[in-house]
Structure 1
Amino acid sequence: MKKKTTIYDIAAKLGLTAATVSRALNNNTKISFNTRKLVLETALEMNYEQNKLALALKSGKSYNVGVIVPRIDSNFFSSVIRGIEEELYPKGYHVIICQTHNQENIENEKINSLVNVQVDGILMSISNANLEANKGLNKLLKNKKTPLVFFDRKKDIKGISSVTIDDFKGGYDATKHLLDQGCKRIAHLSNDRNFEIFRNRYLGYRQALLDNGIEFDESLVIETQSNVQDGRRAARLLLDMEAPPDAIFSSSDFAALGAIQEIKESGFNIPEDMCVVGFSNEPFTRFMELTTISTVDQFPLDMGRKAAQVFLEEVGHTEDVKTTQNIVLTPELIVRRSSSKK
Structure 2
Amino acid sequence: MKMPATIKDIAKIARVTPTTVSLALNNQPRVSEKTRRRILKIARDLKYHPNYIAKSLISRRSHAIGLIINNIADPFYPEIAKGIEEKADELGYSVILCNTNSSTDQEKKHIQMLRARGVDGIIFSTVLIDDPNIKPLVEDKFPFTLVNRTIYDPLLSSRIDYVVLDNFSGGYQVIDHLYRLGHDRIGIVTGELRASTAAERMEGAKKAMLDRRIPYDPDLIVECDFTRAAAYHAAKKLLALKPPPTAIFAKDDNMALGVRETILNSGMHIPEDVALVGFDDIDVAALSGIDLTTVSQKKYEMGTLGVKILIDKIEKESSPMVNKIILQQELIVRKSCGFRLKGYCR
Which TM class, normalised by the smaller chain length? over 0.9
SS at match of 1:281: coil
- For 2:179, the equivalent position in structure 1 comes to 179
- For 1:138, the equivalent position in structure 2 comes to 135
Distance 1:197 1:33 in 2: 45
The answer as to 2:14 corresponding to 1:14 is yes
Give the 5 Å matches for 1:90-169: 90-131=90-131, 134=132, 136-144=133-141, 146-156=142-152, 157-169=157-169
Please list the CA deviations of residues 240-268 of structure 1 after superposition, one character each: whole Å capped at 9, or x if unmatched.
21121110111021221122222222222
- For 1:300, the equivalent position in structure 2 comes to 299
Shift in CA distance, 38/122, structure 1 to aligned 2, threshold 3 Å: farther
1:102–1:127 contact (8 Å) kept in structure 2: no
Distance 1:127 1:103 in 2: 10
Percent of paired sites with the same residue: 33
Query: 5+ residue gaps in structure 2?
Result: none
- For 1:328, the equivalent position in structure 2 comes to 326
1:111–1:137 contact (8 Å) kept in structure 2: no
How far has the Cα of 1:271 moved from its partner? Answer: 0.5
How far has the Cα of 1:34 moved from its partner? Answer: 4.8
Query: 5+ residue gaps in structure 1?
Result: none
- For 1:250, the equivalent position in structure 2 comes to 250
1:190–1:250 contact (8 Å) kept in structure 2: yes
Q: How high is the TM-score relative to the length of structure 1?
A: 0.92
How far has the Cα of 1:228 moved from its partner? Answer: 2.3
Shift in CA distance, 214/262, structure 1 to aligned 2, threshold 3 Å: same
1:188–1:248 contact (8 Å) kept in structure 2: yes
Shift in CA distance, 216/37, structure 1 to aligned 2, threshold 3 Å: farther
Distance 1:260 1:274 in 2: 9
One-letter identity of the residue aligned with 1:70: N
- For 1:284, the equivalent position in structure 2 comes to 284
- For 1:264, the equivalent position in structure 2 comes to 264
SS at match of 2:257: helix
How far has the Cα of 1:206 moved from its partner? Answer: 1.4
How far has the Cα of 1:95 moved from its partner? Answer: 0.6
How far has the Cα of 1:311 moved from its partner? Answer: 1.1
How far has the Cα of 1:4 moved from its partner? Answer: 1.2
RMSD: 1.8
How far has the Cα of 1:274 moved from its partner? Answer: 1.1
Distance 2:293 2:240 in 1: 24
1:151–1:164 contact (8 Å) kept in structure 2: yes
Distance 2:159 2:127 in 1: 20
SS at match of 1:85: helix
- For 1:36, the equivalent position in structure 2 comes to 36
Shift in CA distance, 92/190, structure 1 to aligned 2, threshold 3 Å: same
How far has the Cα of 1:204 moved from its partner? Answer: 1.2
Q: How high is the TM-score relative to the length of structure 2?
A: 0.91
SS at match of 2:248: strand
One-letter identity of the residue aligned with 1:240: A
- For 1:203, the equivalent position in structure 2 comes to 203
SS at match of 1:111: helix
Shift in CA distance, 263/29, structure 1 to aligned 2, threshold 3 Å: same
Give the 5 Å matches for 1:37-56: 37-56=37-56
- For 1:87, the equivalent position in structure 2 comes to 87
1:108–1:137 contact (8 Å) kept in structure 2: no
Distance 1:101 1:280 in 2: 19
1:102–1:128 contact (8 Å) kept in structure 2: no
